[in-house]
Amino acid sequence: MSDFDAASFLDRLGLRATRPRLRIARILFADRQDRHVTAEWLADELARQQHPVALATVYNTLHALTEAGALREVRGASPGTIVFDTHTGPHHHFYDETTGELTDIPADAITLQDLPQAPDGKTISGCDIVIRLR
């Protein structure tokens, strides 16, 4: 299978290795590196694996992982739904309007020129590009 050590993974993030978190970490980080999940999908997946976790706990964990820097919230896609991305580095997304699916676009696949100045005393904290597909 995988030699992913969920316990030390959580440890390194400063998160307690509880049972739900171990299971969630394995689902999210064991194999693929570019997952885009919603809380609901994750809760369903856990249930499918015969290890149901309360939806509230799923949200707690996703937010904890986000604060710890292991996940990133994607804005601008599925309206009304938070999508969590296991790829935390700079990159952008295709959003398929038909299926709701997100696909990564490497950051260097898009060149931004003449990025405008941030107004007054503000700092640019991030830049999301979503290319919608139909």
Partner DNA sequence: ATACCTGCAAAGTCTTTGCAATCAA
Partner DNA sequence: TTGATTGCAAAGACTTTGCAGGTAT
Residues that bind DNA (CB under 7 A): 11, 15-21, 38-40, 52-57, 59-61, 63-64, 80-82
Considering the rule CB under 8 A, would residue 67 count as an interface residue with its own copies? no
Q: Return the exposure string of 35-73: e unless at least 16 CB atoms fall within 10 Å of the residue's CB, then b.
A: bbbbbebbbebbeeeeeebeeebbbebbebbbeeebbbe
Q: Which one of residues 22, 30, 105, 107 is an interface residue with its own copies (CB under 8 A)?
A: 105
User: Structure tokens of 97?
Assistant: 């309007």
Question: Which tokens hold the place of 19?
Answer: 């049972």
Query: For its own copies, which residue of 77, 84, 85, 102 counts as binding (CB under 8 A)?
Result: 77
Cβ 114 to DNA shortest distance, Å: 32
